[in-house]
Amino acid sequence: MERLQKILARAGLGSRRSCETLIEAGRIRVNGYVAKLGDKADPQRDRIELDGRPITNAEPLTYIALYKPKGVISAVKSPDQRPTVCDLVPVPERLYPVGRLDADSEGLILLTNDGELTNRLTHPRYGHEKEYRVLLSRHPDEEQLGIWRRGVVLEDGYRTSPVEVHVEAQFGKETWLRVVMREGRKRQIREVGARIGLPVVRIIRVRIGTLRLGSLKPREWRHLTPEEVAALKGQPGKARPRREKSDPKSRKSGESSYPLRASKKGRRR
């Protein structure tokens, strides 16, 4: 016997939390009875229904890494006319974004129908790292970087957790930073920058846990390898991730491994 939300998540109905919402809404029945949170079932013996339709064979588990471009929202359905990350990945399975990015940010998004993995990557107790390249419109001083590293009190009174912040490159009036954090409140990097006088121009997420953006370009996507999936699930014997590093031989001195602006040629409409 398993908790009902785990069975629903494994069947591809969303994250464990979203499946709990289905149960709370009275949309799930087990053997004809409306289910309640905390109920358990045996998927091999019990009849489990969503809105009167039986849940039979689960969809094959699918794992996709996507480079989300700016202007695309991290959602299954759009509240307006903007495209969603799911619009960019035409596959038959119903996938859900893990590790959301605001519309103005770009970079790595994981799409999957594995509710157990979604819970593992999003629950605060696991503390998975997320790594970003952040472009500032000015050069930071050591005092500003120290404040960011120790934690910043946001406008609503929340104090951010300590983070890793390192300068990667400076040229002109702008600076590329590498920021590694274990939390992710909405627009946190932008708000922190604004609070300490460092306006953020661009944010690119390059890593979620052990999964890296790699060579993906905006709007490009790929299926994860079995090794990548196993590493995300924390299976033993998998190496810890290397932080993304720029190759000094592949660029001129002072340039970032990520361009200041996405070229028109590199964008796909």
Q: What is the pLDDT of residues 183-192, one digit of tens each?
A: 878 899 999 9
Average pLDDT over residues 71-76: 93
Name the residue with higher pLDDT: 10 or 180. 180
CA dist list (Å): 146 to 63, 136, 162, 189, 201: 37, 16, 10, 15, 20
Assigned token pair, 72 = 């695309």
Q: Which of the four CATH numbers 3.40.190.10, 3.90.1640.30, 3.30.70.1560, 3.30.429.10 does domain 129-208 have? A: 3.30.70.1560
190 vs 209: CA distance, rounded Å: 21
Average pLDDT over residues 241-259: 40
262 vs 250: CA distance, rounded Å: 18
pLDDT the model gives residue 59: 67
pLDDT the model gives residue 147: 96
Question: What does DSSP assign to residue 49?
Answer: E
Three-class DSSP category at 206:
strand
Name the residue with higher pLDDT: 248 or 140. 140
Name the residue with higher pLDDT: 193 or 128. 193
pLDDT the model gives residue 263: 33
Average pLDDT over residues 81-110: 92
The answer, yes or no, to whether residue 268 has pLDDT greater than 80, is: no
Write phi, then psi, for 50 (nearest 5 degrees).
Answer: -115, 115
**Spatial contact of 190 and 101, defined as CB atoms under 8 Å apart:** no
Q: Range(s) for CATH 3.10.290.10 in the chain?
A: 2-54
Three-class DSSP category at 112:
strand
Q: Which residues of 51-79 are buried (b: 16+ CB within 10 A; e: fewer)?
A: eeeebeebeeebbbbbbbbbebbbbbeee
**Spatial contact of 80 and 193, defined as CB atoms under 8 Å apart:** no
**H helices of the chain, where?**
4-10, 16-24, 115-122, 142-150, 188-195, 226-232
For the chain, percent of residues with pLDDT exceeding 70: 86
110 vs 113: CA distance, rounded Å: 10
Three-class DSSP category at 94:
coil
Q: Range(s) for CATH 3.30.70.580 in the chain?
A: 63-125+210-232
The answer, yes or no, to whether residue 128 has pLDDT greater than 90, is: no
pLDDT the model gives residue 58: 59
210 vs 230: CA distance, rounded Å: 10
Give the mean pLDDT of the chain: 84
CATH 1.10.540.10 fits 63-125+210-232, yes or no: no
Q: Range(s) for CATH 3.30.70.1560 in the chain?
A: 129-208
Assigned token pair, 188 = 């946190």
Q: Which residues of 4-33 are buried (b: 16+ CB within 10 A; e: fewer)?
A: bbbbbbbbbbbbbebbbebbeeeebbbeee
Average pLDDT over residues 246-255: 35
Three-class DSSP category at 14:
coil
- Provide the CATH number for the domain formed by 2-54 in this structure: 3.10.290.10
pLDDT the model gives residue 258: 43
* Count of residues in the chain: 269
Residue 236: band (very low, low, confident or very high) from pLDDT cuts 50, 70, 90: low
Catalytic sites, residue numbers? 102
pLDDT the model gives residue 261: 39
